[in-house]
Every structure is written in C-alpha cells, then in structure tokens.
C-alpha cells in the first residue's frame, strides 16, 4: 500500500472530489503521505520529498496540536475536505487512499 502524494492544485481538487464521491454518508479522515517526521514544521510528501503546500489546509492548520501531530490527512470540517496535521497513530474514522493519480 502506498499513501498518496499531491503535486498540484489540480491533483488536490481531483482527489478531493474522488473522496467526496466515496464518502457521501459518513465523512472519514483520509491519510496522505505528507508528514513532518523528519523536521518539525517542514511537511514533505513521503514518495517524492516535495514540500506539502499549505494553501489547502484548514484555517490554523497545521498546528502540531499537543506537540504530537506529524501526519497530513484530508479532514472533513465545516462541510469541506481540506488538509490537517494529525497524530500519526490516530485511528479515528480513518482510511487510506492509495489510488494512483
């Protein structure tokens, strides 16, 4: 299994629409490969090492809440999916998206 990396706004929009189409009844977290495990505050995609763009994050995110959030996921909040950092071990309503784009 490979977690997704997102290289452009167009890819982001495509993936978000895909996630929305799959989870109409129950909104879930969808993990991506983005993380700041290597250097706190510097988020990179695991597969290619490119920086995660921050213009598609929820307001105030990423916030490294409780100094323990290193993994990027799609978070459905205020009726929209945007990115957020979350504890990598969180299992709350989580799923994976390993579709090749």
- What residues make contact with Ca ion under the rule CB under 5 A? 36, 61, 63-65, 69-70, 84-85
Least Å from the CB of residue 49 to Ca ion: 17
Least Å from the CB of residue 78 to Ca ion: 15
Least Å from the CB of residue 40 to Ca ion: 5
CA distance 1 to 4: 10
Nearer to Ca ion, 32 or 61 (CB): 61
Nearer to Ca ion, 37 or 101 (CB): 37
Nearer to Ca ion, 15 or 69 (CB): 69
Is the Cβ–Cβ distance between 17 and 81 less than 8 Å? Answer: no
Strands (E), the chain: 29-35, 44-45, 71-77, 80-86, 94-96
CA distance 57 to 68: 17
CA distance 53 to 75: 15
Nearer to Ca ion, 10 or 80 (CB): 80
Least Å from the CB of residue 35 to Ca ion: 8
């Amino acid at each position: 299994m490979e977690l997704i990396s997102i290289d452009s706004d167009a890819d982001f929009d495509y993936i978000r629409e895909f996630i929305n189409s799959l989870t109409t009844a129950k909104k879930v977290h969808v993990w991506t490969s983005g993380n700041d495990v290597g250097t706190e505050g510097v988020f990179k995609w695991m597969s290619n090492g490119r920086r995660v763009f921050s213009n598609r994050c929820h307001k105030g995110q990423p916030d490294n809440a409780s100094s323990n959030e290193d993994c990027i996921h799609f978070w459905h909040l205020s009726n929209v999916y945007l990115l957020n950092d979350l504890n990598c071990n969180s299992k709350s309503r989580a799923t994976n998206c390993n579709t090749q784009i």
